[in-house]
Structure 1
């Protein structure tokens, strides 16, 4: 297990590094776009790029996990549209179902992996938001520090962000976005991949500049914060499903985490960083497995499924309540629903649930402006489009 000193450091960094929501509401248009993205470093960076360019609001979910509070957070902005960045493994389809139930327009920009998603998002942004790219910033798609640095450079220069691996056709990507200049960002962990990239850039007669991002103690600690939170989520889901397999995965990953901590304490930041990058990937596999276990558990038990659905409805009701919308009649039905579930009256519970969903949908439709006004006061939002 991780030592108390390191855990305290991670907690402090977590408090400093809580997700920052970028966004606003246009006084003229009253239009809000929400970008829903997972905490995957690659997907989140391109979401932040778009938010910077368009003023859209970012809402983040844990990779591969459904959280009803995320849907409620999206509701709290009363968005006119939601753009999901990432495939259904990263941002699960339950969110699409939630948003469609509320008549919120939603579209997904996601491919089979982070590389396909990257290209799709950049293409869609060029069409939807009329973005024009001044050159490119190229980074390895599995190197978090390089990605963070690439994001900063792309925002500064209005360049397209391109993620690469050993199989990427760099020349084809440069032609696709009609750019001839590239800034290549790498760390010690990605030097081999980026040598392959530089060779292709020479072949296409493209102008390239190289940036070396140096791994620091803070870099490793930031990754440890994310991985530790993911491990907690997997452990919680393992307990909920009584999955010994998941719990074993957590214990094995914690041992790797301890190895990374030992390397960190010894000052070997590059090795600690390499181990943490591997853990990032492994936690995503763990989260995907855990989400599958939760789904299977709900399919096996009506009560569990109904309780999960109730948690979602309560989170949505809470959003409207905070915006000053009268939800008294909905809460009355919710009390009846809880009693029906507790007593095993599942047919009655399902009927009540359908009534509550219809009432929430109607109340949300009628109260959207109140929710939007509340969001302006709470988040201090300004304009959603350039």
Structure 2
């Protein structure tokens, strides 16, 4: 009798591991991972953007104070000088916008999307700073040309914007600076516009390089954390959930079942004479057999609350949500039949010529806890083993009591 094929490599790697191996030089994941990355909570980034907006508010107030000092001799010309009036309007408009959006973000108002608010404030600061500097230049008062360079670097700081978003804001700011500068500088003085844009572009390149390296590291950390969390809750050989995840999920399923008046079926599965199988064919073939069994269990998980786990060695478990008596019996027998259909030769088995399983199926009772349900299912499993193995035994009494609960689950 031919021996089974040797074990294949471990279960298929999770998508985040594949993504990490393939790389992401353009800072893009696969569509599913990209959605998960963007939805991942970033409380530290939120805090940083709040602090940055507050600092921007304080700095803008400081510039207003400097304007008061620099222009105190011209206060009487406020309403007669259009440039002075424009300067005051710009300062007040930006100040009010900064204060309003900062307060809105502190209250996590859902009407304010954080990236849009941050982008708007950065643009508003750049535009306001450009107009203010050009106005001071026209008035012949001291002004800070380097402020715009600092703002261009600030756009790429970790304020909640991804690199592509920050780059879009930077391009929009550069175009706006160009247009405002062309409007405010006479044709004979426009040489300075070239130098202004050149320095701003250099600052944007430096800031963009730093933002790229930072986002790349953040994305890599996201993939590594996701992989570690996956490994902490999965069995490395089969890819099924491990015992820890099984215990947590069983309690969750029972809790939801009590709330919705739905039964939960727990199947305990044991590969018959598996030690003899390993002795006859080797541990590599045994690993392959467990992987095939895991595939059968996974094929029976059809609902979000269904759960397949490897609880230890050759023992596995299956949690099925919302089953009635007929469905529970049918699914248990179907599981045994599907394992038979694998036709994994087992010449050392006294039960059959191929690998078989024994199954104990218990249905949750009202208000039952996970430990009690597990104990009943485990007892039924050993009852099936005592009765010759290669079969499924269900708790008939519990099945009868659950038959009245409404379910819509196909077998």
Q: For the superposition of Structure 1 and Structure 2, which TM-score range results when normalised by the shorter chain?
A: under 0.3
Larger Rg: 1 or 2? Answer: 2
**TM (normalized to structure 2)?**
0.23
**TM (normalized to structure 1)?**
0.24
